[in-house]
Amino acid sequence: MTTHLQAAATLHNGTKMPWFGLGVFQVEEGAELVNAVKTALVHGYRSVDTAAIYGNEEGVGEGLRQGLKEAGLKREDVFVTSKVWNADLGYEETLKAFDTSLEKLGLDYLDLYLIHWPVEGKYIDAWRALETLYQEGRVKAIGVSNFHIHHLEELMKHAEIKPMVNQVEFHPRLTQKDLHAFCSEQGIQLEAWSPLMQGRLLEDPVLQDISQSYGKSTAQIILRWDLQNSVITIPKSTKKHRIQENADIFDFELSVEDMKRINELNENMRVGPDPDNFDF
């Protein structure tokens, strides 16, 4: 299991993807972003997740360059994810969007490229583009984000290559049990966005109680719970102490009983849109 910060899951095509990474949703271009990415790499992170719609790929690229240099790493030591936005879904459009993302990031390949949302009538063509990019070796792994079971089933009817990852909202109030089981059966790795429910879970009494018994923060308990559920997690932070603290979860293990207590907090509650009902 995940015993250290560089531990990696093996995706169904053999690609290794770190269990833990840095998310940069809602972090604007600028020094704070560059610093966050650099700090994460220097402190042992090996995975960074961005998206075209975040409007911060250039800053992420700059942070990567500075971080690689400072940490004495090579490009292939770091796993970089980006996502194609809804307005660019379509075969040619998606290929073009990928080129734009690469250019902004200043990279010559991506480790993982995802379809950001399952826009009806568009994601099949976009998937064909991802398959092309994968077959050309321009991306090491391809996947989706915010796909329900029925979206995945529909996609797989038309796909030559099965998605390697499904990145979804996942936290103790939204455990996505059926989706998690389906993805496990299909060999699709589940990944959590908003693992801390945008901070809303940090005051939860059950989680606080558990955190006290391990001498860890509530955030650390939740992130450890992700890993013990075999879910990749990418908490967002721009503060150095928080970036370090979030990753300090490899020196303890939650008991079966505590895992169960956290699982039981599920209320099917979302902070983001429902993938069956969004209008963007």
Distance CA 1, CA 31 (A): 35
The rounded distance, in Å, linking the Cα atoms of 194 and 146 is 12
Active site residue 54: yes
What single-letter amino acid sits at 10?
T
**Amino acid sitting at position 177:** K
Helix (H) / strand (E) element for 155: namely: helix 149-158
Report which residue type is found at 174: L
**Other CB atoms within 10 Å distance of the CB of residue 186:** 16
Angle of the 123-135 helix axis to the 149-158 helix axis, nearest 10? 60
Enter the DSSP assignment of 138. S
- For 124-137, the DSSP string reads HHHHHHHHHHHHTT
Q: CA-to-CA distance for 47 and 20, rounded, in angstroms? A: 7
Give the CA distances from residue 98 to residues 41, 95, 211, 242, 263, in Å, rounded to whole numbers and listed in that order: 24, 5, 41, 31, 37
Token pair for 221? 């308990």
Q: Which of 45, 54, 113, 123 is catalytic?
A: 54
Residues involved in catalysis: 54
